[in-house]
Structure 1
Amino acid sequence: MARPQSTLTVDALIRDAARRLPDKEAVIDPGERLTYSQLDTSTRELAAVLVDAGVGTGTRVSLLMPNSTRWVQLSLALTRIGAVLVPLSTLLKPRELHAQLATAGVEVLIAVEEFRGHRYLDGLAEWLGLEVLPTGGERLLEAELPSLRAAWTPGELFAAAHDGLGAPDDVVDALGAAVTPADPMVTVFTSGSSGTPKGVNHSHESALFAVLSGQEARRVGPDTRLYLPMPFFWVGGFGAGVLSALLAGATLVTEEVPTPESTLNLIVSERITLFRGWPDQAVSVAALAAETGADLSSIADGSLPALLPAELRPRPGSRANLFGMTESFGPYCGFRADHDMPESAWGSCGKPFDGVEVRIADPVTGAALEPGESGEIQLRGKRVLQGICGRSREDVFTADGFYPTGDLGRFDDDGFLFYMGRSDDMFKVSGATVYPSEVQAALRAIEGVDAAFVTSVPGPNGPRVGAAVVSTTGATPESLRASAKGLLSSFKVPSVWLVVPSADDIPRGGTGKVLAGDLRDLLAAE
């Protein structure tokens, strides 16, 4: 993992990759492919247009568009000249979009006009009481969003770059060279299972070091051809996809709207070696491959098990659940994705990565706890967030600099971390404590279960355990209950069940997190 500290800026990484790997493919989508040399040239040309439009060091710029090579180009063009990227979810409604622009103090908005029925610029204009939201860099003066001064569509910026417009090369190069690892790089919005989304701030160093420290566990290297459909507006997409590939000199393959057919075509045609999509997506793709006889032999161990041959599939619980959060810029704990952990650690999240100090603290007193004792997980180190928009440092960190995550966990004697759920999620059934994450993990081990989501459901005699299960194989509440009884204590076995055919049927907020309240209402209706 050794890399000179001075190289932990986006500009330095792009220049280094273009010098070492000029003709290697950097990023591919179904309609375009770019080498590292082309990525360097195109992002410098886009940066020139952005600088000419008034974007520079510290300018806060939102990017609202689906996954594509263009998303990668724009995000890297912005961050290499020291602007602060604020990626926004393509799921946002106008009210949510307005709130996040205001919270992050966004100065420039880059947004596609429409995606999957969402007309972002029209919706925002209507919310603001405007006939239209002008783009093309026209000066905006909007009282409700005083920081916002201009909006662009990606097409407008790419057209200007194609025409050679923008600031001189030496100005762009000087801005890139002036960026330091300590400078702010990105604000990513996140939320818990409920509550208002928060803007989490990371520097070049905290974000890039976080990604770098998990590369070995993820098994991402220079020979990797990584398929990743996770939205780039999440840390799981931007960090584990865009930045992970850039740091490793790997090839990133993505698509806007995955379908089993389109994804399988990319796996075969691009000889994907590492598949990092969703479990239910992998199941659907594997079923289609079996039906059509498609060749999946390029997929390596460390990918989702459904796409692996039977002899390579790990036993349930034997591999680490890479564990992290937006505040740690992705996983801070894990184990090699292609290796089983010691049996005593099965079901754990692995061990903390370099650059992060993890302690288990008493949720009330804050005192550090010993191995075997459950408490709140707290983090400290150079990969941890710089802060949260609108909150003071005292509101975010403990007096000795730890970030209280709100997650519950415990270490075993060998240093493996076991996740026990959220401090605000755990509940009691007949006086016994239930951790939703524990029940979810057990349900996911049942054959035919692609995903599981667990929460408390009100009942006449107190809370009950409710489970929404994604299954494409015809699982029933009766069969699931029978299997769960062999895996869980009786009080942990769900008494309320909902079986759905797709993860899209699970209610989620604008940041993609499951909405606990809506899930609870859905289960209560059962």
Structure 2
Amino acid sequence: MTTDPPVTLPAALAGAVALGPDRDALVTADARITWAGLDAASRAAASALAARGVGRRTRVGLLAGNGIDWAVCAFAVLRLGAVLVPLSTLLRAPELEQQLRVAAVERLVLVGSFRGRSYPDEFAELLPKGGRAPRLPALRSAWLLDEVLADAARFPLADALEARVRPADDLAILFTSGSRGTPKGVIHTHGNAFRAVAASLPVRRIGRDDRLYIPMPFFWTGGFAGGLLTALAAGATLLTEATPAPEDTLALLARERATLFRGWPDQAARLAAHPATAQADLSSLRPASLPALLPPGLRAAPGARANLFGMTETFGPYCGDPLDTDMPSASWGSCGTPFPGVEVSIADPSTGRPVPQGEHGEIRVRGPHLMRGICGRSREDVFTPDAWYRTGDLGHLDRSGRLWNHGRLDDMLKINGATVYPSEVESALTSLPGVHAAHVTSLDGPDRPVLAAAIIPAHHAPLTEPALRDAARAILSPFKIPRILRILAPGSDIPRTPTGKPDLPALRTLLTP
């Protein structure tokens, strides 16, 4: 007999405490807290917030770096039935103003400073004065995080509010953007969020004995859903840092005997290339970790393991196969199998009609793991009449039911009249010796668009443009070989948006001769 997973934050937290109150919940370089400790601290913070007027459905913005205080405040907000709006520490004043307005944030909790920035000073024109924020009519209060956490006075209403939290209540508004689009506020409920996380645990191989390291910020879906709420749902331990640095990260992984390193492959590769990694004891890492940090004997062949695939709208991955198991060879390079509770279809982008198996089209998803909606948009504008969400991603389903990703619909390129998928070219270039990463786009040529690529070499790899072109000719059709190649410095990265996605306009500027 199986037990349904908890589908509210209060229920999930109570479950984690019952499983192991004295087990580590969250560990940083210089602090740790148990599940019982996180329960007590977030209960006190919830009372402090309730006494300040935060109640059910209040939208509360949180602007802080990863750490125990972030988790305590976030859990406090969610215990009250309020709605958490994680805000990026990278935002500048115009970006913050836009997100606060889109999400109609009513209360803002922020740290005094982070990475040399004084947020109260930098955002002074946006913050309420005398109970009013002229540029943000919904925003009524702004408080420093340490002041909220220091106010531990009991407020009986807090317990009553927690008892009323239901799966259908809004949990969070997460901001995302495409590589070209403006940020959008994605609304998730307690129920859809925890069901999505629970469905991913078997594939991601995360259980209560795991010590999971996630470098992603909590204000992104990868850190919030893939890190903090994943650890909560599994009763596992989360290892995190506010400002990762190679030596500090390696010390944390070794000291805490990390069992799983997840995140972006680029991060793992850069860490693996660091000289200090050779002396670090990472023997506790299991095969479901990113392969760059595993010993050669535990690494799978390229493409053998599923590329977990998801998005903010699905609260993280919705497709994948077990990360410690090779897929059948015919499916190497795919994203794996849709999770239970998620339906996936491939449709003609222009008609919306399903396409035959194996044919490329727009990926559409539906099911109880999906977001409730998007701020400022009607349900009819977000979903089709039969409840499909048009992801804007290109892909196909193979005979085994596994999903293949071919990039974004708006990234599909026409080069000399032929269709080119940037993801296909990127995969081919990345497979070449000495290439760590490739990022492909198009540039306006004298008479037609041309293909261009930024190449990041593996550490100390002696790449040259002629050699790279020669190697590419053996695996790519002539029209798929980028006319413009720019080899960047090892360990560098391309420009990215505040949500961590490739910034295509800036990439094009970088590649323009």
The residue number in structure 1 matching 2:49 is 50
1:14 aligns with 2:44: no
**1:458: how far off?**
1.6
The residue number in structure 1 matching 2:4 is 4
Q: Distance in 1 between matches of 2:511 and 2:477?
A: 21
How has the CA–CA distance of structure 1 residues 415 and 50 changed in structure 2, closer, same or farther, with 3 Å as cutoff?
Answer: same
The residue number in structure 2 matching 1:485 is 473
Amino acid corresponding to residue 64 of structure 2 in structure 1: M
Counterpart of 1:441 (choices 422, 427, 430) is 427
The residue number in structure 2 matching 1:59 is 58
The residue number in structure 1 matching 2:225 is 239
How has the CA–CA distance of structure 1 residues 444 and 158 changed in structure 2, closer, same or farther, with 3 Å as cutoff?
Answer: same
How has the CA–CA distance of structure 1 residues 140 and 446 changed in structure 2, closer, same or farther, with 3 Å as cutoff?
Answer: farther
Amino acid corresponding to residue 507 of structure 2 in structure 1: L
Q: Distance in 1 between matches of 2:159 and 2:433?
A: 55
How has the CA–CA distance of structure 1 residues 333 and 81 changed in structure 2, closer, same or farther, with 3 Å as cutoff?
Answer: same
**1:359: how far off?**
0.6
Q: Does the residue aligned with 2:393 lie in a helix, a strand or coil?
A: strand
**1:62: how far off?**
0.6
In 1, are the aligned partners of 2:73 and 2:149 still within 8 Å (CA)? no
Identical pairs, percent:
52
How has the CA–CA distance of structure 1 residues 196 and 503 changed in structure 2, closer, same or farther, with 3 Å as cutoff?
Answer: farther
Summarize the alignment of residues 101-500 of structure 1 with structure 2, pairs less than 5 Å apart. Answer: 101-126=100-125, 128=126, 133=127, 140-161=131-152, 165-168=153-156, 171-288=157-274, 292-471=278-457, 472-474=459-461, 475-500=463-488
Q: Distance in 2 between matches of 1:121 and 1:469?
A: 39
How has the CA–CA distance of structure 1 residues 433 and 217 changed in structure 2, closer, same or farther, with 3 Å as cutoff?
Answer: same
**How many matched pairs?**
511
1:68 aligns with 2:56: no
Instruction: Say what the alpha-carbon RMSD is for the aligned residues.
Output: 1.7
Amino acid corresponding to residue 14 of structure 2 in structure 1: R
1:474-509 deviations in Å (ceiling 9; x for gaps): 433333333323332221122212222367642122
In 2, are the aligned partners of 1:67 and 1:231 still within 8 Å (CA)? yes
1:41 aligns with 2:48: no
**Which structure 1 segments of 5+ residues have no match?**
none
Q: Does the residue aligned with 1:384 lie in a helix, a strand or coil?
A: coil
Deviates more, 1:470-479 or 1:303-312: 470-479
Q: Does the residue aligned with 1:216 lie in a helix, a strand or coil?
A: helix
How has the CA–CA distance of structure 1 residues 193 and 203 changed in structure 2, closer, same or farther, with 3 Å as cutoff?
Answer: same
Amino acid corresponding to residue 107 of structure 1 in structure 2: E
TM-score by length of 1: 0.94
Q: Distance in 2 between matches of 1:327 and 1:240?
A: 13
1:274-328 deviations in Å (ceiling 9; x for gaps): 0013333323333446665222111110111111111111111111110011011
How has the CA–CA distance of structure 1 residues 2 and 390 changed in structure 2, closer, same or farther, with 3 Å as cutoff?
Answer: farther
Q: Distance in 1 between matches of 2:116 and 2:449?
A: 38
How has the CA–CA distance of structure 1 residues 112 and 482 changed in structure 2, closer, same or farther, with 3 Å as cutoff?
Answer: farther
Deviates more, 1:292-301 or 1:317-326: 292-301
Q: Does the residue aligned with 1:212 lie in a helix, a strand or coil?
A: helix
Q: Distance in 1 between matches of 2:114 and 2:176?
A: 21
**Which structure 2 segments of 5+ residues have no match?**
none
**1:12: how far off?**
0.7
The residue number in structure 1 matching 2:500 is 512
Deviates more, 1:25-34 or 1:117-126: 117-126
**1:396: how far off?**
0.6
Q: Distance in 2 between matches of 1:327 and 1:422?
A: 15
Amino acid corresponding to residue 505 of structure 2 in structure 1: G
How has the CA–CA distance of structure 1 residues 234 and 348 changed in structure 2, closer, same or farther, with 3 Å as cutoff?
Answer: same
Q: Distance in 2 between matches of 1:65 and 1:479?
A: 45
In 2, are the aligned partners of 1:200 and 1:327 still within 8 Å (CA)? yes
**1:353: how far off?**
0.4
Deviates more, 1:81-90 or 1:492-501: 492-501
In 2, are the aligned partners of 1:96 and 1:510 still within 8 Å (CA)? no
Q: Distance in 2 between matches of 1:387 and 1:445?
A: 38
In 1, are the aligned partners of 2:170 and 2:190 still within 8 Å (CA)? yes
The residue number in structure 2 matching 1:86 is 85
Q: Does the residue aligned with 1:125 lie in a helix, a strand or coil?
A: coil
TM-score by length of 2: 0.96
